[in-house]
């Protein structure tokens, strides 16, 4: 890029930081990005600080999981540095989960992040009426569970408009007293990754407590 063009860009009338700068040079029209394009962290900080503690926990767990799959340690350290700029608490949680506390490589923002007021509109939790309707509830079964309790629990789940999912040691059968069996919707080893839901039920434990 020629020095003349650089000088023309620098002397162009500067609008507010949120607006691009426009000018013409040798019959061509140029548009320069606004200064706000240098800010890579404020939106991420706003999003994290706007959601509920449960959602923040999910984010930290997700980041820990994904970064644990990265083979190059320095990449993990650099990502921790970026997270520290976004939110120190988030960075600490992820670093602790990775076993890399204090190893972050500091990131230098091109523009200082802005502390914006949290926006409840960005969260999923807390915006809607608490309900099970339309959700799936995992019912975890094992040897010795009470079939009557299972039947009552499944009926209660359906009454709330949710879908029960029977999770057993083996997907083909769920052993119950009197050597009877009932089919399961999933097995422990395969269901747990996708059934890490907020409403797991343990009929056996509930029966024992009673």
Q: Nearest 5°: CA angle at 69, between 66 and 73?
A: 105
| CA gap 180, 173 in Å, rounded | 9
- At 145 the pLDDT is 81
Query: Closest Cα to residue 142, out of 174, 179, 101?
Result: 174
Q: What three-state secondary structure class fits 138?
A: strand
Give the residue extent of every domain in the chain. Answer: 42-122, 136-205
Residue 180 has pLDDT above 80, yes or no: no
Give yes or no on whether 42-122 and 136-205 have one common fold. no
Neighbours of 72 (CB within 10 A): 8
Could you tell me the strand order of the sheet in which 186-187 lies? 136-140, 163-168, 186-187
For 189, the token pair is 């080893």
Max Cα separation, the chain? 90
Give the dihedral of Cα atoms 141, 146, 147, 150; nearest 10 deg: -60
CA 173 to CA 153: how far, in whole Å? 19
Cβ 40 vs Cβ 81: under 8 Å = no
pLDDT score recorded for residue 37 = 77
Helix axes 73-86, 42-50, angle to 10 degrees: 70
Question: What long-range pairs does 195-198 form, CB within 8 A, spacing at least 24?
Answer: 195/138, 195/165, 195/167, 197/135, 197/136, 197/137, 197/138
Superfamily of segment(s) 42-122? Catalase, four-helical domain (1.20.1370.20)
Q: What is the rounded CA–CA span in Å between residue 63 and residue 90?
A: 9
Half-sphere exposure of 140 (CA within 13 A, CB side): 15
> Tell me: the pLDDT tens digits for 2-38?
555 444 444 444 445 555 566 666 677 777 766 777 8
**139-157, pLDDT tens digit by residue?**
888 778 888 888 999 999 9
CATH of the domain spanning 136-205: 3.40.50.880
Q: Is the predicted pLDDT of residue 209 greater than 80, yes or no?
A: no
Average pLDDT, the chain: 77
Q: Which helix (H) or strand (E) holds 50?
A: helix 42-50
């Amino acid at each position: 890029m020629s020095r003349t063009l650089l000088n023309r860009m620098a002397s162009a009338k500067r609008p507010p930081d949120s607006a691009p700068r426009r000018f013409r040079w040798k019959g061509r029209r140029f548009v320069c990005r606004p200064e706000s394009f240098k800010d890579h962290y404020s939106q991420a900080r706003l999003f994290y600080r706007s959601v509920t503690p449960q959602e923040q926990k999910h984010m930290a767990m997700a980041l820990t999981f994904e970064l644990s799959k990265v083979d190059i340690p320095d990449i993990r350290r650099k990502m921790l540095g970026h997270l520290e700029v976004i939110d120190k608490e988030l960075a600490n949680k992820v670093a602790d989960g990775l076993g890399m506390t204090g190893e972050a490589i500091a990131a230098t923002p091109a523009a200082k992040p802005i502390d914006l007021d949290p926006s409840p509109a960005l969260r999923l939790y807390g915006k809607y009426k608490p309900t099970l309707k339309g959700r799936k509830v995992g019912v975890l079964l094992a040897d010795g569970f009470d079939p009557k309790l299972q039947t009552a629990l499944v009926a209660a789940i359906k009454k709330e408009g949710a879908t029960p999912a029977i999770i057993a040691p083996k997907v083909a059968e769920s052993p119950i007293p009197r050597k009877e069996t009932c089919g399961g919707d999933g097995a422990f080893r395969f269901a747990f990754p996708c059934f890490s839901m907020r409403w797991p039920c343990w009929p056996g434990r509930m029966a024992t407590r009673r």
